[in-house]
A and B are shown apart, each in its own frame.
Chain A
């Protein structure tokens, strides 16, 4: 274990990789190709500090959800290490893992599909206790759990389909909190919710973080959400980290072209802040992780890309306090105002 960082690090990822065997499609068979490997997470080093809210952002296909699941060992890592304090999560035996799982929980993206429709809310909330053999003295009462997420105790006897989206999300959070975890991974906690329900879920998560001294990894494609709640932000692209730093630095002085592109694509609820030509748009779509581009993975969509980007993989380098970026040209990027999109950029 490296002793470099202080003991405020709760989770440390070292060169973490998660690969999936892709399907061998018809084309592959016809052409005699082997099954492709999907490199969902491809060499991630990251620290999550105790008590912080770390936002993990990227487009669909960036590998952010897989990274979250891998940290909790819901998806097995292919290589690399996940350290939770000094426990090596990847090599723990089943019984040890179960004990550790109580301290790290996931809030799933779709509350309806993660809550069994045939069980009452009361049952769903106490199920983690039965599964984990939690002694009665360490259990919250159902009412307590509901109260914690600001739901009425009357909901205890209801079934998931009787809840609104916001309520179901809160039940998902309560269920994750039942085991007194320290670390929560929340995957798109506001996706699919109406604005006002989303706002109250975000408020709740913030309150709980303070009250229960939680550490969060919040995974989302929505920079408005992450910018609102996160202390630090990690930007992911095609299985790798493009930029990590304090939220103020990432939002105020982004140094990776991809971060800038994501920020410029945010639709702000302010008609005076329209993307009117002067804001950069990232062209095209994220390439397949089955076959990531060589060199810098972002080069196919990057307005700054040069020959070097195609040949040499940029490493994360520190450019400010706690601010790292993987771009050959970050100095140039950061110095420049956001470039205007041209019609060809719009065309993808």
Chain B
């Protein structure tokens, strides 16, 4: 219990528009232990970004947490006021965004911006300008910025794409948060830089015990870095497990389908499985299982009732067609609809 740094239980987030209220997250539950790297994976529109934003307390004005709880280090975040939340951000939970260019202020040097982070949180205490600057340089060195001593006086545009992403990570690390949310941090990068950033995050965890919530649509990067994985679909967590189980013995039909659609040079000549149909839009979610209309295993019951999020052997899955005793009833699926387990793994 005590090693669970972040506990999300039954989280529900609603967006209000002129026409309707849309449930962007529904009954999302998972936890992150200290020093653990947990992946959140899913396609666009699955609620990944809403999840990060609600954890950080930065939902857009028309969005609201309407149910469940978020506990960070034993404290319930929903009960915190704006000011308390602001103090917490950066110090206990920090976020790195996909696009560094829009998250860094182009008119200030990165040194100024980094020192501002420290000032805002320490309120004058904790040393003078020189010491704050020294701290900033050391964090820049930590994330692999060469010549950090000089580069700290550069403006964001003077950094290349990969270096800018490192600067963003450095900013997030200034106050040594226990939990880092990395939201699609490698998506805009070339493979070479992606690999470098993944190495950097791994090293941060190894050296500082930083827990990371790694949000990505890229199953490759997820496989490379995560200890555990949460798979999301249409605002729900549909499966959770340790990384090996998720990739080698996926339980939810959606996870299986996702894995079968990843191209690889090891699968030359094979045909990729693709998922028919589209993710349902938030304004017209089907009644039962949200994946039913694309799922070869779906039965009448799937269309009528939302499956519960069942816990099985330390894993979780949201599917009524999965029977913990016998596993999958393969007879229920049309032949060839989903690849056999061997090709999935």
Contacts and interface: CB of A to CB of B under 8 A. Distances in A.
Nearest to B261: A199
Contacts of B223: 267-271, 273-274
A222 B198 CA distance: 16
Given A199-B263, A347-B146, A285 B194 contact: no
Contact of B194 (A199, A261, A267): A267
Given A262-B192, A269-B247, A224 B43 contact: no
Interface in B180-224: 190-196, 198-200, 203, 217-224
A228 B146 contact: no
Most central of A199, A229, A262, A282 by chain B CB within 10 Å:
A199
B130 interface: no
Interface stretch (B6-14, B131-139, B265-273, B303-311): B265-273
Interface in A243-302: 247, 251, 261-262, 264-275, 281-283, 285
Given A262-B191, A267-B224, A346-B144, A200 B199 contact: no
B163 interface: yes
What's the interface size class on A, roughly? Answer: 35 or more
Interface stretch (A81-89, A189-197, A313-321): A189-197
A195 B224 contact: no
Contact of A195 (B191, B198, B200, B217): B217
Contacts of B161: 60, 285
A199 B162 contact: no
B264 interface: yes
A92 B223 CA distance: 50
Given A202-B272, A203-B271, A265-B191, A271 B217 contact: no
A347 B272 CA distance: 37
Interface string B155-175: 000001111000000000000
B257 interface: yes
B105 to A, nearest CB: 21
B157 to A, nearest CB: 12
A224 B220 contact: yes
Contacts of A195: 43, 217, 219, 258, 261-262
Contacts of B257: 196
Interface in A200-226: 200, 202-203, 221-226
Nearest to B254: A196
Interface in A333-348: 341, 346-348
B258 to A, nearest CB: 6
Given A164-B278, A195-B217, A348-B196, A224 B265 contact: yes
Given A195-B43, A267-B224, A202 B193 contact: no
B268 A228 contact: yes
Contact of B199 (A225, A261, A346): A346
Contacts of B266: 227, 268
A198 B192 contact: no
A275 to B, nearest CB: 6
Nearest to A343: B203
B221 A267 contact: yes
Given A195-B219, A200-B274, A228-B268, A264 B195 contact: yes
B196 A281 contact: yes
B198 to A, nearest CB: 7
B191 A266 contact: yes
Nearest to B245: A271
B275 A60 contact: no
Given A221-B191, A347-B146, A268 B264 contact: yes
Interface string A150-166: 00000000000000110
A195 B263 CA distance: 9
Given A196-B257, A224-B265, A271 B243 contact: yes
A59 interface: yes
A60 B162 CA distance: 11
Contacts of B274: 196-197, 199-200, 203
Contacts of B43: 194-196
B21 interface: no
A270 B195 contact: no
B279 to A, nearest CB: 8
Contacts of B162: 285, 348
Nearest to B259: A269
A346 B218 CA distance: 22
Contacts of B275: 196
B200 A346 contact: yes
A275 B264 contact: no
A68 to B, nearest CB: 17
A275 B262 contact: no
Contacts of A283: 196
Contacts of B193: 59, 285
Contacts of B112: none
Interface string B35-55: 000000001100000000000
A228 B194 contact: no
Interface string B240-259: 00011001000000000111
A25 to B, nearest CB: 12
21 contacts: A59-B190, A196-B258, A199-B263, A199-B272, A200-B261, A221-B191, A222-B191, A224-B262, A227-B266, A227-B268, A228-B265, A247-B265, A262-B191, A266-B220, A267-B194, A267-B198, A268-B223, A269-B262, A271-B223, A271-B224, A281-B192
Going nearest first, the 6 A-B pairs with the smallest beta carbon separation are A227-B265, A267-B220, A200-B274, A199-B261, A228-B263, A199-B272
Given A200-B274, A226-B265, A269-B262, 5 more contacts: A196-B261, A199-B263, A225-B263, A227-B265, A251-B265
